[in-house]
Structure 1
Amino acid sequence: MPGEKVALSGSKETLLITLCAKAGESRLPDSLLGDHFAAEAMDRIDYDFSRLKIDRDLMIGVALRAHVIDGWTRDFIARHPEATVLHLGCGLDSRIFRIAPPAGIRWFDVDFPDVVALRQRLYPTCENYELVGSSVTEPGWIEAVPRDRPTLVVAEGLLPYLQAQDVPDLLERVIGHFPGGELAFDAYSRLGLSMIAWQPSVRSTGATLHWALDDPQELVRQFPQLELVQELMGYGPDGHDPRQVARMSLPAQVAVQFFGWIPALARAGRLLRFRF
């Protein structure tokens, strides 16, 4: 059976980086994420994934990020059994299938119409799950999402690729639409953004990054409704499980330790969780 042909470029093509990394990590004998959904989807796509230059270290790093956000999602659902989960720029991420939320949870995935169409060909449907085909920067799509429940808004691997002004506009729209909830996303300082831009996988897509966040309190000052709940930096004790770093190559382990010694490098990338 022929695979699904994809014709993506720029920031859209980066969704194949995360898919391939999660699929590859799921095949490792010591997999953290165990994302067999990603592996099965990747196997059905007709695309030369070797051009993305994804190595074991990147696989583990992407899986770590997803694992943390999955944990935050499960925690929110446990505290709000009748809630909405809104996944912005979902790409081909299989979070809804990894989480398998209970019947009381309503879930919306949002991405460009062609990405949504590809998802529909690769993944099954499930109850209380809707796909919204739209750029997240378009103002009208949010009206498809009811505003009657506490809402977790997830944006993984999305915000840095948006134009700088589009991010506060999107956050204002989301915060104003729902009665309350949480935001979970990754963010990078200006230094971190320049480092990602030179990453071989990102360079292979021609994607450009725009939005940087040097200090999470910048968002709190801009949006007083926000309260910073959790901030994870790097892979050390105050960030991700160091046992996962031990799975990486020796040069990567040394780099992680080195980054931890230099504040500007330690703050280059963050996982952030806000309450609103």
Structure 2
Amino acid sequence: MMEKADFTGVEQTMLATLYLRAWESRSKDSILRDHVAAELVDRLDYDFSKLMPHGGAGNRFMLALRAKQLDEWATDFLGRHPDAVVLHLGCGLDSRAFRLDLPAGVRWFDVDLPAVIDLRRKLYPEPDWYRTIGTSVTAPAWLEAIPAGRPVLVIAEGLLMYLTEDDNKLLLQQIADRFPTGELLLDGFAPWVIRMTQRMAKTLARRGYPSYSTAIRSGREIEKWSPRFRYLEGIPLVSLYAKIPLPVYRLTYRLMNAIPATRNFYRMFRFAF
């Protein structure tokens, strides 16, 4: 049965990322091998071709490299904490909960806006270890439903740049107050990227997309937002160029990695608390 997906704004970005992950995963040399994404694209009643002018062929590697790195960090944490709670914030239609080989004791919570979760529940199963929560991550009460006595892994992929800095600070402080220990995985753009999207805000809005709000200059900035968080590592996305199978895109990312401004335009970060 085909499911309708008709979103704009932040919700529309999940369809673009789903499509690009599916496209990348159909390659025999796939980085991510997210075959669930490819299956979901076939189940959705949506004209994905209209997303292409807003994405671009090379973006499928950006998304695959980002997801793969976060998957590897998540797998490392869960291997050390097999009884952990996972919070995937702004999960969209991502298949991470079903893509990873999870220890039996893990409890996983996917969190996104109600309309996104409504669609997600039609597409994914909900086994005993897995739950979805339909809410804005900035709402004050949703964290009360999450078990607080275990280590927690918080994944905020493609999320914090859409929130205001004040909302980000409040969200991270609520997480730090709720859980005794854990790790936080996130991604962020340099300030010049945020400024560029804000200058393009009207154009993006006509296409149904929001501009970005918050930059992350370095991992140390998160430590200033909330002193509970301790910076562990940060990886420029383009530094992973060797994993790209197509030579033309591998060369493009390699050249970007050689220039300081573009090397650090987009990074993944890992924190402990």
- TM-score strictly above 0.5: yes
Instruction: For residue 73 of structure 1, report the CA deviation from its aligned partner.
Output: 0.8
- Does 2:237 align with 1:234? yes
**1:201 and 1:249 mapped to 2: Cα distance?**
30
Q: Secondary structure at the match of 2:238?
A: coil
Question: For the structure 1 residues 13 and 32, does the alpha-carbon distance in structure 2 shift closer, same or farther, using more than 3 Å as the test?
Answer: same
**2:172 and 2:206 mapped to 1: Cα distance?**
27
The correspondence for 2:217, drawn from 198, 214, 217, is: 214
Instruction: For residue 203 of structure 1, report the CA deviation from its aligned partner.
Output: 7.6
- Corresponding residue for residue 158 of structure 1: 159
Unaligned runs of 5+ in 1: none
Instruction: For residue 196 of structure 1, report the CA deviation from its aligned partner.
Output: 6.0
**1:11 and 1:135 mapped to 2: Cα distance?**
12
- Corresponding residue for residue 17 of structure 2: 18
**1:59 and 1:201 mapped to 2: Cα distance?**
20
- Corresponding residue for residue 145 of structure 1: 146
- Does 2:40 align with 1:37? no
Supply the AA of the counterpart residue of 1:178.
F
1:43-86 Cα offsets, whole Å, 9 max, x none, are 11111111111443211211111011011111011000111111
Q: Secondary structure at the match of 1:229?
A: strand
Instruction: For residue 234 of structure 1, report the CA deviation from its aligned partner.
Output: 3.1
Answer whether contact 1:17 1:201 (CA < 8 A) is retained: no
**2:59 and 2:247 mapped to 1: Cα distance?**
10
**2:35 and 2:251 mapped to 1: Cα distance?**
30
1:142-191 Cα offsets, whole Å, 9 max, x none, are 11101110000001111111122111111111111101100001011111
- Corresponding residue for residue 74 of structure 1: 75
Q: Secondary structure at the match of 2:61?
A: helix
Q: Secondary structure at the match of 1:235?
A: helix
**2:151 and 2:28 mapped to 1: Cα distance?**
38
- Corresponding residue for residue 27 of structure 2: 28
Instruction: For residue 194 of structure 1, report the CA deviation from its aligned partner.
Output: 4.2
- Corresponding residue for residue 181 of structure 1: 182
- Corresponding residue for residue 265 of structure 1: 262
**1:121 and 1:73 mapped to 2: Cα distance?**
26
Instruction: For residue 141 of structure 1, report the CA deviation from its aligned partner.
Output: 0.6
**1:125 and 1:222 mapped to 2: Cα distance?**
34
Instruction: For residue 202 of structure 1, report the CA deviation from its aligned partner.
Output: 9.3
Answer whether contact 1:10 1:208 (CA < 8 A) is retained: no
Supply the AA of the counterpart residue of 2:138.
T
Answer whether contact 1:22 1:35 (CA < 8 A) is retained: yes
Q: Secondary structure at the match of 1:205?
A: coil
Question: For the structure 1 residues 258 and 107, does the alpha-carbon distance in structure 2 shift closer, same or farther, using more than 3 Å as the test?
Answer: same
**2:143 and 2:16 mapped to 1: Cα distance?**
27
Supply the AA of the counterpart residue of 1:23.
A
- Corresponding residue for residue 172 of structure 2: 171
Question: For the structure 1 residues 201 and 125, does the alpha-carbon distance in structure 2 shift closer, same or farther, using more than 3 Å as the test?
Answer: farther
Answer whether contact 1:52 1:204 (CA < 8 A) is retained: no
**2:205 and 2:42 mapped to 1: Cα distance?**
21
- Does 2:63 align with 1:62? yes
**1:202 and 1:185 mapped to 2: Cα distance?**
25
Q: For structure 1, which segment, 253-262 or 69-78, has the greater mean C-alpha deviation from structure 2 after superposition? A: 253-262
Question: For the structure 1 residues 269 and 256, does the alpha-carbon distance in structure 2 shift closer, same or farther, using more than 3 Å as the test?
Answer: same
Q: How many residues align?
A: 269
Q: Secondary structure at the match of 1:220?
A: helix
Answer whether contact 1:56 1:248 (CA < 8 A) is retained: no
Q: For structure 1, which segment, 132-141 or 208-217, has the greater mean C-alpha deviation from structure 2 after superposition? A: 208-217
State the TM-score, normalizing by the size of structure 1. 0.91
1:107-133 Cα offsets, whole Å, 9 max, x none, are 111011111110010112223111111
Supply the AA of the counterpart residue of 1:265.
T
- Corresponding residue for residue 98 of structure 1: 99
Q: Secondary structure at the match of 1:179?
A: coil
Supply the AA of the counterpart residue of 1:68.
Q
- Corresponding residue for residue 242 of structure 2: 243
**2:206 and 2:85 mapped to 1: Cα distance?**
35
Instruction: For residue 23 of structure 1, report the CA deviation from its aligned partner.
Output: 0.8
Q: For structure 1, which segment, 139-148 or 189-198, has the greater mean C-alpha deviation from structure 2 after superposition? A: 189-198
